[in-house]
Chain A
Amino acid sequence: MDISPDSVVIWEWKWVSINATILFTWLVMALLVIGSWLATRGLSAGVKISRWQNLLEILVVGMRDQIREISDQEPSAYLPFVGTLFLFIASSNVLSIVPGYHPPTGSLSTTSALALCVLVAVPIFGISKRGLVGYLKHYIEPSALMLPFHIVGEASRTLTLAVRLFGNVMSGTMIIAILLIVAPLFFPVIMRALELLIGLIQAYIFAVLATVYIASATSAHWEVEKKSEEKEGA
């Protein structure tokens, strides 16, 4: 029984081997890109819009409002990154209803890659918003003794992001495989429904946590203190 789609090798030629993770990752990417391109071909700004444009607008506006609520900042800088995370993870989890499909997020490689993207994106957004010195200063913010805690905290945040998503998706596929041995058809259908729900929730959680980490790196503490001072003075 394969614990991960990394070990399912589909095609091998000399030194190139395509395993299920690579194949299904590219499949999900192609689906998202081609679907979006088809839907945005004839965009109209009027009252009458096509169904697909309506769907994309609901998705994009929904994500933008969520980011604005959580981070309390202008969402347009973070929307591409966080939105891509959510859409990729949600599609790859929901597509697991298709027979013969191995979700690429069920492999620790994919989830580690996504978590590393978040790890790299947090300093990039922080430095672009607060400058290099301002961003580095927040590591010694309450006192210089907190520096090792901040560093270890960042590393463990990334690790838990990767393992949480991997564990949830892998457990869904593994439970289906085991249950199919025991009780065909009926009980696995219920577990499939649970797997879909958990997949969507985990996609949302991943995106929300990425937003929270980015927001904590880009919002300066002195802004918060200044606001509370103004409130006390007024």
Chain B
Amino acid sequence: MDSATLIGIASIVTSGLTMAIGSIGPALAQGRAVAQALGSLAQQPDEASTITRTLFVGLAMIESIAIYCFVLAMILIFANPFWRLLSAGAGG
């Protein structure tokens, strides 16, 4: 198996695994956050605007972890530096 094939296999498998495993944590965390927020809304409905705003800010921060994994997966597939190095070396 030459290095080009190896790099191709490693990039694809890694990007798939990154996205799959990397989205488990944020999904569980967001579920807990929303559940807590709903409980607080039921207990104190007149604080709804503060609770909702804080919920959205918290969700966005948790979401960014999943976004980091997505960006890494995209880089591995579409802007892979090792792949470009190899194809430049083979073509040139």
User: Chain B, 59-92, contact with A by CB distance < 8 Å: what is the 0/1 string?
Assistant: 0110110011011001100110000000000000
Q: Are B71 and A163 interface neighbours, CB within 8 A?
A: yes
Which residues of chain A from 1 to 31 have any CB-CB distance to chain B below 8 Å in the complex? 1, 3
Q: Which residue of A lies closest to B79 (CB)?
A: A3
Residues in B with CB closer than 8 Å to A69 are 49-50, 53
Bound CA–CA A168/B56 (angstroms): 15
Residues in B with CB closer than 8 Å to A73 are none
Bound CA–CA A69/B68 (angstroms): 30
- B9 CB–A CB distance under 8 Å: no
Max chain A C-beta neighbours (<10 A), residue from B63, B67, B78: B67
Residues in A with CB closer than 8 Å to B24 are none
Number of interface residues of B (CB under 8 A): 17
Residues in B with CB closer than 8 Å to A1 are 78
Chain A interface helix/strand/loop/mixed: helix
B77 to nearest A CB, angstroms?
9
Number of interface residues of A (CB under 8 A): 20
- B57 CB–A CB distance under 8 Å: yes
Q: Are B78 and A3 interface neighbours, CB within 8 A?
A: yes
Bound CA–CA A122/B74 (angstroms): 32
- A215 CB–B CB distance under 8 Å: no
- A81 CB–B CB distance under 8 Å: no
Q: Are A171 and B57 interface neighbours, CB within 8 A?
A: no
Known: A171-B70, A201-B56. A164 touches B79 (CB 8 A): no
A-B Cβ contacts below 8 A, count: 46
- A174 CB–B CB distance under 8 Å: yes
Known: A163-B71, A167-B70, A171-B67. A205 touches B57 (CB 8 A): yes
- A170 CB–B CB distance under 8 Å: yes
- A208 CB–B CB distance under 8 Å: yes
Q: Which residue of B lies closest to A205 (CB)?
A: B60
A174 to nearest B CB, angstroms?
6
Q: Are A170 and B74 interface neighbours, CB within 8 A?
A: yes
Q: Are A164 and B64 interface neighbours, CB within 8 A?
A: yes
Bound CA–CA A208/B78 (angstroms): 32
Residues in A with CB closer than 8 Å to B78 are 1, 3
Known: A3-B78, A208-B53. A167 touches B67 (CB 8 A): yes
* B-binding residues in A (CB < 8 A): 1, 3, 69-70, 160, 163-164, 166-168, 170-171, 174, 201-202, 204-205, 208-209, 212
Given contacts A163-B67, A167-B70, A170-B74, 4 further A-B contacts (CB under 8 A): A3-B74, A69-B49, A163-B68, A168-B67
Name the 8 nearest CB pairs between A and B, nearest first: A167-B67, A164-B64, A205-B60, A167-B71, A3-B78, A3-B79, A171-B70, A208-B57
- 25 A/B residue pairs, CB under 8 Å, sorted by A: A1-B78, A3-B78, A69-B50, A70-B53, A160-B61, A160-B64, A163-B67, A163-B71, A164-B60, A164-B61, A164-B63, A164-B67, A167-B68, A167-B70, A168-B67, A170-B74, A171-B67, A174-B74, A201-B56, A204-B56, A205-B56, A208-B53, A208-B57, A209-B57, A212-B57
